[in-house]
Chain A
């Protein structure tokens, strides 16, 4: 990448209020191509709201959001997904009654073309595309080693264990062929071994997958292990930004997390 390209994803002065509650106010954030940026903050800090703003589920009251220089404010979520932003959900939202493979295949909708009538006739072009979709799904599932392979392909997603559901969410998100991947607490509910695995995996998503990654995470070991840059939020305001060390030792961040009554020592 050249030295001063536009950031892949950039938010400027983004604000959102639900009634009188200001969820995000005047937020600036950018993610460069190839970066892994972590967003931390206590519960209710506005982290998931940030993801919902970027993916078009909410529309900001003011401010701009651009992807590679183009504004994406006001687009439908599926249009934003088709432009290259994909996400996972903190509260897993898999297509539970569809097979594991179909979950991933479904996400290829945005970059495939076969219409209904071609599907009814099973034209050669449609069948070729189907084979490509299937190969894509298998490739994305193979990313997790043996975890999501073999007999699991044809099992419904509800049969998966919790950690595998999280993996499947990531596989599904990558099947939209995104440029940037938003991961909402990928390590939530995982045991230490699985947490370690997911930390390595996020690194591989960048190196092998080539994705730029914006991740919300509570587990500080994960954050430390993966982040190029850390952004700390509280009450919808950016408290600190920088390397893990600088943010983790920031007094405001510590106060927001631990609620230290530092004022009492004044």
Chain B
């Protein structure tokens, strides 16, 4: 958005604050760096147009397969692009329309299933991709419209319940769709198999190339992402986009200012659904199969996490959210990498909390010493107390600090776990020096629980870590990483 402010140098020059407006203006124009080359670099950085950022981002992402040949990494990158698309779609409904849509994942499923039915041996239909993908997008938009119709008078909690019900309905229908009126349509829990890959003009876009994940799909997904991003950005800066955001801010005022609120709600539902369905086709084509359980509640939570974490309403924000959360979830699958992330979160949280103050040194130092002392005491008491195994990743360092017994008594895991939760809750209740003092054993307890309890169960652990990241970020940056500052209507 190139603004042509006629008054030119807009910020009022120094002198006493004149009023609230002026104060806010000056505050908004303030730079992180006050002067020097960094300040001018910051100014220049702010003038980089949005499309330059997009091109840079796409270029860097496209380079990834050249520097990284591992099929696994490429696959994670591909999944991340899918998440980016899903987050962009959800952002239409949640970030712009301001509607709490808990059925969003069902539209993703609708897209994937529609593609699978229209392009698989299941019914012997094999439509060309260039036909089937737009078709599925339209189907997704229509399903979104249909769900929107009964919900258009609902807001907030009521809308959330209805859309959640829709997700459940989708689950039930697909799971039991192997005997719908005597016909097997969805394949039930076994899903639909042997779905065609994308095929354009007689050429199949193979999923695997010499046994490794085919990069082509990453580029296809990136291309779709770029198109969706640009199209949505243009819509956001049109009368429709402004109307969507007006609806989010104040539906009654929007209606009174000539905007058809019900219709706008339907549209935002429908467009969100269309983007989800589009993503579903890529998902189905790559995986060559669809199952009901691929589109369940956990996925919904993950997409919401991305949107909220990145900054609901901001396109670059939700994309960044996807880029942070998707690889983080992958990293947490492996205990050794999960450990790295855990300590990064712990230390990062401390840094954000105390900045670089003396208290940070005190807490970190005290925690370190506490660990060493406990470790020495434990090993002096009984060597088995510290003889536990550490799996992978800088285990040596941690092994001299956290007590990891070779055999854990059955009562220890639940006790320490609940103890940690209690300690964290207690932390939120106390303040001042008491909090500092309490923080030290809590940190150590967290490390202990991580090493002894959570590492043994990586699957729940990764969601717990995700939750922790989310909680701490929401406290520190309530509007998300790139979110605009927000105020609620009083």
Q: Which of B7, B10, B239, B245 contacts A95 (CB 8 A)?
A: B245
A161 touching B238, Cβ below 8 Å = no
The digit string for A85-129, where 1 denotes a CB below 8 A from any CB of B, is: 011010001111110001001111111101110011110001001
Q: Which chain A residues numbered 29 to 88 have a C-beta less than 8 Å away from chain B?
A: 55, 57, 76-78, 81-82, 86-87
Contacts of A160 in B (CB 8 A): 20-21
Instruction: Tell me how far the C-beta of B342 lies from the nearest C-beta in chain A, rounded to whole angstroms.
Output: 35
Does any Cβ of A come within 8 Å of B59's Cβ?
no
Does any Cβ of B come within 8 Å of A151's Cβ?
yes
B485 touching A156, Cβ below 8 Å = yes
The complex places the Cα of A111 from the Cα of B261 at a distance, in Å, of 15
Interface size on B, residues (CB 8 A): 45
Does any Cβ of B come within 8 Å of A173's Cβ?
yes
A172 touching B257, Cβ below 8 Å = yes
Contacts of B489 in A (CB 8 A): 93, 96
Contacts of A94 in B (CB 8 A): 249-250, 253
The complex places the Cα of A77 from the Cα of B253 at a distance, in Å, of 10
Contacts of A199 in B (CB 8 A): none
Count of A-B contacts judged by CB separation below 8 Å: 145
The complex places the Cα of A98 from the Cα of B418 at a distance, in Å, of 44
Contacts of A109 in B (CB 8 A): 239, 242-243, 257-259
Q: Which of B3, B6, B231, B255 has the most CB of A within 10 A?
A: B255
B19 touching A176, Cβ below 8 Å = no
The complex places the Cα of A152 from the Cα of B6 at a distance, in Å, of 12
A93 touching B21, Cβ below 8 Å = no
Contacts of A81 in B (CB 8 A): 255-258
Does any Cβ of A come within 8 Å of B361's Cβ?
no
A155 touching B258, Cβ below 8 Å = no
Does any Cβ of B come within 8 Å of A246's Cβ?
no
Does any Cβ of B come within 8 Å of A149's Cβ?
yes
B484 touching A95, Cβ below 8 Å = no
Contacts of A82 in B (CB 8 A): 258
The digit string for B255-268, where 1 denotes a CB below 8 A from any CB of A, is: 11111110000010
The complex places the Cα of A188 from the Cα of B109 at a distance, in Å, of 52
Identify whether the interface residues of B are mostly helix, strand, loop, or mixed: helix
The complex places the Cα of A86 from the Cα of B258 at a distance, in Å, of 8
Q: Which chain A residues numbered 198 to 246 have a C-beta less than 8 Å away from chain B?
A: none
The complex places the Cα of A81 from the Cα of B255 at a distance, in Å, of 8
A116 touching B235, Cβ below 8 Å = yes
Q: Which of A93, A94, A112, A164 has the most CB of B within 10 A?
A: A93
Q: Which of A111, A119, A151 contacts B235 (CB 8 A)?
A: A119
Contacts of A158 in B (CB 8 A): 487
Instruction: Tell me how far the C-beta of A142 lies from the nearest C-beta in chain B, rounded to whole angstroms.
Output: 10
Contacts of A153 in B (CB 8 A): 3, 5
Q: Which of B5, B10, B258 contacts A110 (CB 8 A)?
A: B258
Please give 17 more A-B residue pairs, beta carbons under 8 A apart, in addition to A120-B234, A153-B3.
A55-B256, A77-B255, A81-B255, A93-B253, A95-B245, A97-B249, A98-B246, A105-B242, A109-B243, A109-B258, A110-B258, A116-B240, A116-B267, A156-B484, A159-B25, A160-B20, A176-B258
Q: Which A residues contact B (CB, under 8 angstroms)?
A: 55, 57, 76-78, 81-82, 86-87, 89, 93-98, 102, 105-112, 114-116, 119-122, 126, 129-130, 133, 149-156, 158-161, 164, 172-173, 175-176
Q: Which B residues contact A (CB, under 8 angstroms)?
A: 3, 5-7, 10-11, 19-21, 24-25, 28, 231, 234-235, 237-243, 245-246, 248-250, 252-261, 267, 271, 313, 484-487, 489
- Cβ-closest 9 pairs across A and B: A110-B258, A151-B10, A119-B238, A150-B7, A81-B258, A159-B24, A95-B249, A93-B253, A106-B242
A-B contacts, 30 listed (Cβ < 8 Å): A57-B256, A76-B260, A77-B256, A78-B260, A94-B253, A95-B250, A96-B249, A96-B487, A96-B489, A98-B246, A106-B257, A106-B259, A109-B242, A110-B258, A114-B238, A116-B240, A119-B235, A119-B239, A126-B238, A130-B238, A151-B7, A151-B11, A152-B21, A153-B5, A154-B5, A155-B21, A156-B485, A159-B20, A159-B28, A160-B21
